[in-house]
Structure 1
Amino acid sequence: MSKDTTGPPSFELGRRHFLAGTGVAAAAGLSGCVGSMSTRAKEVNIAGSSTVFPITEVISSEFSKEREDVTVSISQTGTGGGFSNFFCPGMTDINNASREIADADIEQCDENGVTPIEFTVATDALTVVVNPDADWIDCVTVEELNELWRDGGAERWSDVRDEWPDEEIEFFGADTTSGTFDYFVEEILGDDSHRTDYHATERDRTIVRGVQGNEYAVGYFGFAYYDENPEEVKALEIDDGNGCVEPSLETAKAGEYTPLSRPLFIYVAEQSLTRPEVRDFVRFYLERTSTDLVNEVGYVPLTEDERDENLDKFEAVLDEVTDE
């Protein structure tokens, strides 16, 4: 069975009716149910990115239909929080990640004898959203996004463009433990710091509700959460110097939606691959990264060649693990 250990999933069911009947259960939190992995039979524990969560959840649900003897527990902790609090200390088997593993994460993993194996699983179009009633804005430049989100930046929309409303902006965005936060800072803010006077959360549905509730709000998150809520929030086109481009699966796949298209990852603890249930789950996951399961939750699937490269890498690692 598959369960989300953070309580009711923040990625609402909506069109993803596949969860019905799969036995998704709530618990107090990942830290309350994760102990020594060697003492648990047939369980796969996953933490990390809320952006990657929908992909992992839909694939886990499909896996659970075939393997009712294996429990897959998924927690949304943010990429960084997943690495530092669970994966690198050896408490989880897999970390969902919306950025590449950082040097500090690698060092922490190494100190604890955890070897992370990286697999790309999809492409995302990180999406900036405003209230649907904000009919005065459809497109922003990268420079304007910097002015909106840098520390000490715009307080009112008219601070960015004179013709925009002289109204105070309410900001909603990713928490500092999030890979989405890290990616946004790197691509949009550069040497500037991210503003701190904003509603920071790992719950992307909270961002949807916040922006929906204020005509002058702005927020950002992974494309899947916009794709599920196109009536509640409005996605902005991004102009990186070559004209305005809307976020979509097509523009992300074509490399046109820049600079906010990004790869998404899972990191697997090599040591966990000694357990058959983890091996089976990871193989099942990787085999489906080129399918419509990924597309259906709002991300660009891998090509078949990319999928096969992942599987070859996985089998090579597996040979090393099983030969030890």
Structure 2
Amino acid sequence: MKSLYTVLILSCIPFISYSFRYAASINFQHVQGREYVFEAIVYADSGHYYPEIVLEFDTTDVFLNLDTAEDLGHVWKAKYKGGYTFPSDGTYLGYLVAGSRKNGIANIPNSIHTDLTLAIELEVALGTSYSSSHEEYSLIDSVVLNVPYNADFSAVDDEGDSLVYHLNYCRDESGGFISGYYFPFSTSFFTLDSVSGGLNWQSPSFLGNQSVLVRIEEWRSGQFISSREREHLFVVSNASGIHGRHSQSVANLYPNPAVDEVFLELPVPSGQNVQVEVYTSTGVLMETTALRPQGTDRLMLDAERWNTGWYILRIQTENKVYAATVYKK
């Protein structure tokens, strides 16, 4: 039986709290024997990057050094590289913890300050040589509200191996899938072709940042040889352009799960009208409610008639849009 190892890719120093991690990917290249070089790419909203992050194999720490840090104008892109020689043949499973999502993502419940995490798995065997696929495009893209979005999400494999694409739930810092995660909100289909890597989003129906995890399996002669993940960020706005990235903030609410009432905490002056749209987990608008705070920043939303399940709230004030997710018992 092949041995199973756990690989943890962690920051050797805590990430700066105000640096928002938007998207990330990981890949690897074979050097010789059981020696591999790993590459991690991380997109963030500032250029505050540490000179290295740590790749942990069992009891061995391997440092991935900062190779490049590029200012793309609307976001920073950092690339880390580091090598390691595996001690024996086997199946190696690992996780990349790329840093905090900070203010949260609209389609990831309770994602404020959670870490963006990716998984990687590879079969290591002496005498076998292969490297993973890689991308040649940004993992952040602008999407226009209610306008169909089509994109080529395929990767490049220089060795001609077969690639299979899967949509996955986003992960938390433990490496597990986030409970209650929704694929990006849509009034119709959000699909990824498993063979071509073509993504189709027929009608984006919700403003704000939305994330999706793509798992890429690599096969050779009918045998699985590796898988890796990348997390994409979609910025849905009323007009094209990455400037829409900050179009939506995450609202605080309680209790969550809710029973009959949901309380929203927003910095809204007394007497100002607030519109709350309630969407189902599939992105269908269920109800629209007008609320008005009375001398407090707290708003009460009646949830008594809702069925059990997850709901997405879009809260529109006079000068800002907020988003939140809540589970109704």
Q: Provide the TM-score with structure 1 as the length reference.
A: 0.26
Greater share of residues in helix: 1
- Ranked by relative contact order (alpha carbons within 8 Å, sequence separation 6 or more), the top structure is 1
Larger Rg: 2
Greater share of residues in strand: 2
